[in-house]
Structure 1
């Protein structure tokens, strides 16, 4: 650190992890007083900023107009050092300046979205400024963007803990029946998606799900097997591999900038795990294919249909900003599942809205902070807020 600080008048030490609304964030600034005097730095201060920014561009022929709006969320300044206010140890030129700041408890989560001619972001940052008054002198600045997530309620924390330990609560079934067609004939297929019956799903938490797909062939003779003598299975064949399934999370964001309102749609692939370090990897899905079952018709023992079933079992994770309605930005989510079958328009689709909620408690104040009381870092939940994907750039 000494070698690094010897070449720079100001060094910022601030842990780059997501923060929770209401949390007291802390760090230090190392100031090389000798270099500060050489560069005529007369004050070191720290600024905390947060804002919702939106923009919408409209086109009228060859002329375009951009509407922008900024809603402040944080605006705090604090002086850390002035000449004579703090001195380094006798054997050093470095003085360490500690700082801490409490985030408001009602902050919306970090967020960003963009499309052609429109966009919006909720972003937070801190900036250390070394003031160098005078013409032809530029201030020394260090800026750090950090992410914020809302604090989870006690009930949300209990649900999050239950999901991580293995969900034993009630399940909700979302069902869809379709009549698939091969030529003029119609056969039937049913799909059901089972999820924990919750009003809100915590972000960055594995959510178990079960998919059941059941197909029924057209009426055939008892001698006609699901795989006929040519090796071609009877239509419709349920997908036996999860690679054929399409699972997406779709987000619709309403953006407002002054008198203009627009929407942005984003789609996130849930088949890949992308929020972990390293390249995306395919999510592990267990598949169970049942043996075909012969269902005879009521009026004939020799004619009926074959019923085939496949079941997929895995988890989903949503590393995205919780569902939020802010002053000029609000967004909602919907799950979309597509089960492909041969033939035009034969895919089975299940889609329904879901609400994403926070999954992390607000940590207690840092050890030694005023008002710490009896709290220690042992009171902090072991799993802090993991990084999200859709953070402001």
Structure 2
């Protein structure tokens, strides 16, 4: 059975709530244990649980010595459910604890939990539940938007081994070791599943090919120089020599002000990860001599062609691509192959649309359309995605989703 997350204080209220990522449209359940004896000492007359989702954006501008904060908040939903009133219910004989179960259905089409921040700008999409008001328990909901049926099928296809169409993304650059001299060439080709969007926290298979051609030289010049080093530009020797990362650009809007937040995330377990070289299959081609065949080319001249192939997979554990009224964000997959010399790094940038990878679980027992078991009885398939789009205050309890005027 799935473990339950417990949020409690030294007071009369203990909140039991499963700490997993939720999906828009999901019916979530939990329980609040009330110590009635301690509630009487605290003069607690009512017990309410509140649910709320908000988008909050803030842009700070400066003019001379004046600094102005421009803020905008959108309430996605808010709900207050009564659980207990003084004198309405009592614990079983011999016990001081009254268990108050709750159930709440998240609205559909909600954006995922999200946070970004830079100098004089930040935006957060947050979800939370709270029992009465501080110092009573609060819990922040990690939330993902609801995927479509086609997106769920695409994820299952990836998990079972992709047999669908592929697409190639290529790039070629002219490279020169120094300021003067003839140009060499480098080409890269990334091959990934041909999909309109990709599920988060799911391994996406890919292949990556790096091919280089030397400048024109004599056939007596081996593919290595007199010191035994490969001639420029040599393909990377190891998968860890290639850099793989994810670039995210978020656009924050507060009325007439617009700002951007750019973040780069290293993607572990594949290219560029020195601890996971074994997770990448690589094959190097034998150097190939290609004679020059132009009418003005000297006899015995040509180029050396070399190539290396990498095969691996990458999982992206970040919030799905989304757009709201005051914040939206998109991603680019970035592969960089470094070569010696100034400005010779070859960069391949691929726009990626990410979608959520989890289906909405069935409703719990007692609700229309429910099955014989509850979602809490079934462990989610595989490890949950790492929630890297949430501020640290989410896990320390310092971030509150409730406005000050709603604390009563």
User: TM-score with structure 1 length normalisation?
Assistant: 0.90
- 1:362-392 deviations in Å (ceiling 9; x for gaps): 01111x2321344645897735853421124
Confirm or deny that 1:144 pairs with 2:143.
no
Aligned to 2:56: 53
Partner of 2:400: none
Query: Does 2:363 align with 1:369?
Result: no
For the pair 1:25 / 2:31, whether they are aligned, the reply is no
Unmatched 5+ stretches in structure 1: 131-138, 274-279
Q: For 1:141, what is the secondary structure of its paired residue?
A: coil
Distance in 2 (CA, whole Å) between partners of 1:83 and 1:43 is: 6
Question: Bigger shift: 215-224 or 180-189?
Answer: 215-224
Distance change >3 Å, CA 6–CA 74, structure 1 → 2: closer
Partners of 2:353 and 2:59 in 1: how far apart? 26
Q: TM-score, normalised by structure 2?
A: 0.86
2:293 matched to 1:298? Answer: yes
Number of residue pairs aligned between Structure 1 and Structure 2: 376
How far apart, CA to CA, are the structure 2 residues paired with 1:272 and 1:308? 26
Q: Given the alignment of the two structures, is residue 210 of structure 1 paired with residue 207 of structure 2, yes or no?
A: yes
CA contact (8 A) 2:363 2:370 kept: no
Q: Kindly tell me: are residues 375 and 170 of structure 1, through their superposed partners in 2, closer, same or farther at Cα, counting changes over 3 Å?
A: farther
**348-357 vs 46-55, which deviates more?**
348-357
Q: CA deviation at 1:7?
A: 5.5
Q: How far 1:220 sits from its partner (Å)?
A: 2.5
Q: Considering fraction of residues, name the structure with more strand.
A: 1
The 5-angstrom pairing of residues 11-160 of structure 1 reads 11-129=14-132, 140-160=135-155
Secondary structure of the residue that 2:137 maps to in structure 1? strand
Deviates more, 1:168-177 or 1:22-31: 168-177
Shift of residue 228 of structure 1? 3.4
How far off is 1:223 after superposition?
Answer: 2.6
Cα shift at 1:360: 0.9
List alignment gaps of at least 5 residues for structure 2.
395-408
- Residue 257 of structure 1 deviates from its aligned partner by 1.6
Distance 1:37 1:252 in 2: 52
Q: Is the 8 A contact 1:19 1:385 kept in 2?
A: no
* Alignment check: 8 A CA contact 1:20 1:148 kept: yes
Instruction: Give the structure 2 partner of residue 322 of structure 1.
Output: 320
Q: Distance in 2 between matches of 1:22 and 1:359?
A: 15
CA shift digits 1:220-240 (9 cap, x unpaired)? 232321123431321111111
- Whether the aligned pair in 2 keeps the contact of 1:364 and 1:375 (CA below 8 Å) is no
> How many angstroms apart in 2 are the aligned matches of 1:306 and 1:5?
69
